[in-house]
Structure 1
C-alpha cells in the first residue's frame, strides 16, 4: 500500500465530493480511487467516507483525518524542495484572519506572494472570532490586537489606527460627543453582534479607559457598519483606512480625535516548530516584510 498516495487520493475525494471527479482530476480510474480510500480505511481501522448511490460525504472521523492530513501532505511537499534550491517552493498554506484584515490588507499581499511563488497554494478563512489554529488545522493566522496565547509564536508586522466616526447628518441631529463618556448617550453601532453593549478604548489624560457603549444596530462586517453610519444612523469605530476616503470628502467626520486609542498591533501567529517547513517559513517572512511596507499600515 502506498500510504502517501492514499492520503492524496482521500484529500482529492473530500475536496471534490466524488470518486469519479477525483479520478478525473488525478488521471486514474474510479475503481483505483475507491480502492485507495478503502485501503486507507483498513489501515486506519476507521470509516472515513459514507457512500451511497447518490452521494458521498465524510464521517466525523474522516473530517478529523482530513484536517490532520493537510499538515502531513504539506510537510511532504516542502521536503521536495529541501535539496533543490533551484526549484520554486511548493505546498499549501492554510491561513485564517479577521474580516478587518481579510477585506483590504491581506489580498494584495497574498497576490504578490502568489506571483513570486506560483506553485504554492493558499487557503484563506476570514473569521471574526479567535481561532484555535492548532485544533482547527491552520498553519498561520494574521491577527489584530495584543497576543494572549503564549503557546504560539507571534511576529509584530504593523499597526492599524482605529478611528471613531459619524456622518454630519447624525452629528447635526444629536450633537458631537465632547469627551469619551458622552458616548453613553449616543447610538453607537457595534461590531459585536453577540452582546448588547461594547467597550470602546480611548486615551484620557494619557491613560487607556474603556467606555461601555450601546446602540440599536450591530453587524460583524465593517463595510455594513460604514454604510449604516453614512446613512446617519450612529457612531462607529473602524480602521482608518476603511474610512479615509469618506473623511477626505466630509461624508464622515472623526469624533474625539484627541482621545484616539493607541494603534492596534497586527501580528502573524504560528505554532512553534512549524516555521521549520521551508514553504511556511518563506510565506511568513514574505507576509511580514510585505505588511510592514504596506502603505495602509501605520
Structure 2
C-alpha cells in the first residue's frame, strides 16, 4: 500500500526526470529546490533504493530508478484518467494562467473571459499581457494566445483564425490632407508603421490586379498597435492596424478605412498554445473550446 504522500513524491520524481534537472523541476512545480530534493530523498528512503545519481551538470537514473520511473508514469496516468472522468461530470473550477499580446488582450480578451466565466463562474483567471514571445516551458502559464505569421512552437497549439490588417486614419486627417485614391498617393502622407506589416520598408496592397508595393518613409515606427491607434485618434497620420482593433473604431465612425478595395498583402494567424504536459488541463481545454465557438460566431467575424 502506498505510504502517506508517496503519490506526490512519485509525481515530483517523474518531473525531475522529465525536466532533466532539479532546478527546472522545482520551477515547473512552483517549489523550492530543497523541497524537490527532500521529496526525492523521502521516496528513496521508503523504497530503500537510490533512484537518481547526480553530477554537477547532469542527472542519471539508476537501474531501480528506471524501473520506478516507467511504473510511476503508468500509475500517474491512471490516476489522471480517473480524475478526468470525475471532473467531466462536475463544473470546471480552479485557476487558469494565461498570457496574451497587449492589444488583443486589451480589446478582445476581456469579453471572451466574461462570457466564459458566465458559464463557469468557479474558474479564476490570471492574465499577463506581453508582446514578447513566451516560452511556456519556462513559465507557470497554462496557455498563451499568440498572433504570428507562422507558428514554430513545440507545445500543443490550436488554430483560432486569421488576423487581417486594415489601412486607416481618422476622418479629420482625411479631410485636412491630400485625397487618397490609389496606394501611390500614400507617399505624400504621414505614415506610421508597425515593423511586422512593412516588407522591406514597403506597404503591400493586394487588389484585383495583383500586389502593389509602396515604399514608406515612416515618421513613426512602433511594434505596438495600441500606440499607433492612439496617434491615429490624434488625427496625426495613416497606419495599418489589425482588424480586431481597427474595426471597433471604423464601425463607430471614429476611423476611416482607406482604399477599401485593396487588402493588406500580409496577414497573421491567432493560435491558442497549451503547455506541453503529460496530463490534460481541463480548464485549458474548456477555454479553448469556448474561444473556438465565440470567435467563429458571425458577429465576431472581421469586416
**Shorter-chain TM band:** 0.5 to 0.7
Q: Which of the numbers 258, 269, 274 marks the counterpart of 1:270? A: 274
Equivalent-residue separation in structure 2 for 1:252 and 1:240 (angstroms): 12
* 2:92 maps to 1:89: yes
Equivalent-residue separation in structure 2 for 1:182 and 1:153 (angstroms): 44
User: After superposition, what is the alpha-carbon deviation per residue over 1:58-91, rounded to whole angstroms, capped at 9, x for unaligned?
Assistant: xxxxxxxxxxxxxxxxx99997454354322234
Q: Which of the numbers 170, 173, 176 marks the counterpart of 1:170? A: 173
Q: Which of the numbers 40, 47, 50 marks the counterpart of 2:35? A: 40
TM-score (norm 2): 0.61
Is residue 93–residue 139 contact of structure 1 (8 Å, CA) maintained in 2?
Answer: yes
For these two proteins, the number of residue pairs brought into alignment is: 238
RMSD between aligned residues: 3.9
Compare 163-172 and 173-182 and name the one that shifted more. 173-182
Task: Please state how far the C-alpha of 1:164 moved relative to its aligned partner.
Answer: 0.8
SS at 2:124 equivalent = strand
**What's the counterpart of residue 193 of structure 2?**
190
* Ranges in structure 1 where 5+ consecutive residues have no aligned partner: 8-35, 46-74
**What's the counterpart of residue 158 of structure 1?**
161
**What's the counterpart of residue 111 of structure 2?**
108
* 2:273 maps to 1:283: no
Structure 2 vs 1, CA of residues 152 and 183 (structure 1 numbering), >3 Å: closer, same or farther? farther
**What's the counterpart of residue 252 of structure 1?**
255
Structure 2 vs 1, CA of residues 198 and 153 (structure 1 numbering), >3 Å: closer, same or farther? farther
Is residue 171–residue 256 contact of structure 2 (8 Å, CA) maintained in 1?
Answer: yes
Equivalent-residue separation in structure 2 for 1:79 and 1:280 (angstroms): 18
SS at 2:264 equivalent = coil
Equivalent-residue separation in structure 2 for 1:249 and 1:83 (angstroms): 47
**What's the counterpart of residue 296 of structure 1?**
300
Task: Please state how far the C-alpha of 1:44 moved relative to its aligned partner.
Answer: 7.7
SS at 2:300 equivalent = coil
SS at 1:115 equivalent = helix
Task: Please state how far the C-alpha of 1:223 moved relative to its aligned partner.
Answer: 4.0
Equivalent-residue separation in structure 2 for 1:189 and 1:78 (angstroms): 52
Equivalent-residue separation in structure 1 for 2:280 and 2:103 (angstroms): 29
Structure 2 vs 1, CA of residues 212 and 77 (structure 1 numbering), >3 Å: closer, same or farther? farther
Structure 2 vs 1, CA of residues 169 and 143 (structure 1 numbering), >3 Å: closer, same or farther? same
Is residue 165–residue 253 contact of structure 1 (8 Å, CA) maintained in 2?
Answer: yes
* Ranges in structure 2 where 5+ consecutive residues have no aligned partner: 12-30, 41-76
SS at 1:83 equivalent = helix
Is residue 148–residue 270 contact of structure 2 (8 Å, CA) maintained in 1?
Answer: yes
Is residue 169–residue 232 contact of structure 2 (8 Å, CA) maintained in 1?
Answer: yes
User: After superposition, what is the alpha-carbon deviation per residue over 1:248-296, rounded to whole angstroms, capped at 9, x for unaligned?
Assistant: 5654322222221266432222355567333322222222222222623
SS at 1:189 equivalent = strand
Is residue 268–residue 288 contact of structure 1 (8 Å, CA) maintained in 2?
Answer: no
